[in-house]
Structure formats: structure tokens, C-alpha cells
């Protein structure tokens, strides 16, 4: 596998991890731990935006990468 393609595939997983885990990115623990968002809403919104991210990745990202390489 081409190293550039491998790196792009690894980077795409970072966005989904930051959305669906409470401690995945820098500001996430603040939102999660401060009570700014209730726990139920945090996971609900993470699921919604994670699904949107995944759809965008599959519909736009992978076809674009296949054209690029």
C-alpha cells in the first residue's frame, strides 16, 4: 500500500474518534466534565455527528482519495 494513502486513511479515523469519545480531543473533557452538555445529550450528539462524519467520509472522502491516487 502506498504510504500517502495509508496516512490519509489513518487521519480520517481521528475525526470520528474525537466526536464519539468524551476524552478524545482537547476540549472534549471540558464539555463532558463541566456539565455543559448532559451525558445523554453528549452521547446522542456524538452518535449523530459521528454518523454524519462517516457518511461524508464514505460518500466524498474515499472516492476523492481513489481519484487522487
* Cell 450528539, residue located: 45
Higher pLDDT, 49 or 1: 49
For the chain, the domains span 29-69
- pLDDT at position 58: 85
Q: How far is CA 25 from the centre of its chain?
A: 10
Render pLDDT for 3-55 as a digit per residue (tens, 0 to 9): 887 887 778 777 777 777 767 777 777 877 888 888 888 889 888 988 898 89
Torsion of CA 33, 39, 44, 45, to 10 degrees: -30
SS3 assignment for the chain: CCHHHHHHHHHHHHHHHHHHCCCCCCCHHHHHHHCCCCHHHHHHHHHHHHHHHHHHHHHHHHHHHHHHC
Amino acid at each position: 500500500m502506498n504510504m500517502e494513502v495509508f496516512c490519509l486513511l489513518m487521519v480520517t479515523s481521528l475525526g470520528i474518534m474525537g466526536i464519539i469519545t468524551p476524552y478524545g480531543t482537547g476540549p472534549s473533557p471540558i464539555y463532558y466534565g463541566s456539565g455543559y452538555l448532559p451525558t445523554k445529550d453528549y452521547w446522542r450528539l456524538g452518535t449523530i455527528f459521528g454518523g454524519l462524519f462517516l457518511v461524508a467520509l464514505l460518500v466524498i472522502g474515499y472516492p476523492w482519495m481513489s481519484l487522487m491516487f
